[in-house]
Each structure stands twice: as C-alpha cells, then as structure tokens.
Chains A and B, each alone.
Chain A
C-alpha cells in the first residue's frame, strides 16, 4: 500500500514537471525553482503535509519535498526561537541533504570524468 502511494504521488509530481517543461516550455532550471518554492508555499498553507502523509517518500523525494522540509524547519525554528528561528530553521532541517549533496558531489567529481553523450 505504502509503495503504491509513493509511486502514484511521486509519479504525479514528476508528471506535472514534465507538463511544465513540454506544454509551458519552461526550462528545467525554472521548473525546479517553481517546485521548491511551491513546496514551501504549499506547506505553509497546510496542503503539502497531508500529501506527505499519503505519499510518504513519494512526496518527500521530489523537489517540493525539499521545500516542505525547509518550510517545516522554518516553522519549528520560529516556534522554538522566535523570529530569528526563521533564519536557522529551514537550513537546519535540510542541512543533511545539502551537506550530502556537496560532499558526495565533490567526491564524485574527483573520482569520475565526464563522457560524451552517445
């Protein structure tokens, strides 16, 4: 059940991204920005949380899930530390992902060389 939900929710989010690229002709970089910002806003207005409850990894693995973690972190920061928490919270909640991306990215870049597209 959990797997089917993750598949459907994750698949639908990606499908929305494909429609933005193909139909609205947005470059992928823009789609990613829209998705992460949409994740933040949808979480703030309480729409994304239920989606995470239903979809599990299907909602947290796609990029809006990154926005979700950022927004939730910012709220938690505000609850614990007041106004200044808005600045700590988001990055604190996502620090693992950002650090992993930097460290693994650096490692892979050192180990491997790019290849021409076939």
Chain B
C-alpha cells in the first residue's frame, strides 16, 4: 500500500476525502477584525456565560462541532472520530468537550499546528476506510493561554513588539467521502525544526523555518510548484515570521512572492487592534480556515489551497529551563470540488 505515500513526508489521498462542513466561533476581539463577516458565530462575552475561561473554551469547541454537524443535518452520533486539540495542559478544552459530545476521541497536541494535524489524520481515517465521518476541531482562548504561558491578565506589563495575540476561537471541519465539499489531496507531515530561538515572545521567528521546511518538502515530494496554488497560507507566523519565511523560501528558490499569506496576519488589524505581530494559537488557523478560507473554496474564489499550520512546541517549563523553541508545521493541500 505504499502508493499512498509519495516522497519523504507526503501522503497522497487516492479518494481525496471531502470537507463537507465547517464552522467557526470567535471571541469579541476577533469579531472586530477584518474577517468578522466570515465567522459563523461571534461571542460578545469571552466567558460564554460560564464561570471560567477554560469552560468557555471547551464550550466553544463543543458548540462549533455541533454547529458544523447541524449545517449538513448530520447527527453527532453518526460521527466516527473526533480529532481535537488545544493549548492547555492535558488538552483540557478538547477533553471536556469530548466528554460531552461522546464521539470517539483522539486528543492531539501540536500547539498551533493542531488544525492541519487533525485534518491530516481525519483524512487518513476516512481515506483508509475506517469510518464515514471524522471531525477535526481545535481551539484557543486568549485568557486561558495568557495565564498558562505568560502573565496574569491584570498585571501591568508591556507586551513586546514581537509578541502575538492568542486568538479566542474554535473551528471544526467534518470530513467524509460522502457528500460534497472541497477535497484534501495531499498532507505533508512536518518534522520538528529548531533554529535555536529562545525568545518565547518571538514565536514567529522560531516557527518560520519549520514552515519553510514543510513547504519545501511538500513541493519536492509532490513535484508541484508554488504556481499550482492560488494561496499558500501559514498558520500563525505573524508579521515578522511571515516576512522571515518568505525570504527563506526565496533563498531556497521557491518563489511565493504573490500567493503567500498568514492566518495570524489576516485575522487582526494590527494597527487598530494593538495586536503587535499578529494572531496566534490553535484557534487562529482554525477560525481563518473554517470561517474564511472554507467559504472561499466553496465559492471557488480559491481553487487550490495549501494550508500550513505552524506550531511552537514550547512549554513554560522548557522556557524556564533555558531550552530553545522546537517548532513544527504540517501542510494540507485542499482543492475546491
């Protein structure tokens, strides 16, 4: 069965699984950003009427999965697998959502790369014939991430200019080989790359080489070139990381001058919303894909998309112990049907 894998790291789906539904829920700040009109639900309270932000984040995943299923009148009971992940310790948000949803659950941690990680694995499950429906969902929440990775919210500290703003939001995509929707043609699984960046406030620079490595491998494995894609979009490199990634790709002889973007750059208006280098978090590429890019694919405004979610695999412990930031990126090639 080796014909399903091409090159070093790429999977070619023979019966390209389709993304038959997608849904995105975002917090109030994202709802004021430039992509606001594309999100299905915008919360006006980032506590979602609950007692803690962790509960709110968990409910966001649950609600976005339910909404994605109800869009195509699919019963939650008929979904075979639930691939989900978030940034919190022991995947608190995903696990608690899975407890309520009662779909067979595989929890994933790939930091902010989790969206393409869960999409790739869902696609493999469907392509392998192990089930009819799989849902890939990820979430992040500014307030839960901030208290776990950085400082208490009311602390009067200054955020460095290289820092990024964790997106409050959750996105879910349902995959199946029945029904209609954009299809997943390839998935390129990334390696952990570490260029020795130690500054946890500069994750864009840490993740850019991982994105470049995966994109480069994707092209060499598939024999495709950047011009085969209408858009190559990275997960959450932010303004600085995207600039670095572009230059690194050019150095590798991969010309992405006109069709390269980043979800973290798109989601906020960085001047007006004071988000410094851009958005980040598992929810960043999740809501940009499930909200904005998915509709563009359906409407055929984008025909070929390469989504490269990027993750900085750091933890508060690794940073305090003086480790550099290992990073990863997974790429998923999606075609409008």
Contacts and interface: CB of A to CB of B under 8 A. Distances in A.
Interface of A: 21, 28, 114-118
Interface stretch (B121-129, B152-160, B222-230, B258-266): B152-160
A21 B158 contact: yes
B268 interface: no
Interface of B: 29, 46, 53, 142-143, 146, 152-154, 157-158
18 contacts: A21-B158, A28-B157, A28-B158, A114-B143, A114-B152, A114-B153, A114-B154, A115-B153, A115-B154, A116-B46, A116-B53, A116-B142, A116-B143, A116-B153, A117-B142, A117-B146, A117-B153, A118-B29
Contacts of B142: 116-117
A19 to B, nearest CB: 13
A21 B201 CA distance: 14
A1 to B, nearest CB: 30
Q: State the main secondary structure of chain B at its contact with A.
A: loop
A14 to B, nearest CB: 12
A20 to B, nearest CB: 13
Given A114-B152, A118-B29, 14 more contacts: A21-B158, A28-B157, A114-B143, A114-B153, A114-B154, A115-B153, A115-B154, A116-B46, A116-B142, A116-B143, A116-B153, A117-B142, A117-B146, A117-B153
Contacts of B154: 114-115
Nearest to B156: A28
Nearest to A18: B158
A86 B235 CA distance: 56
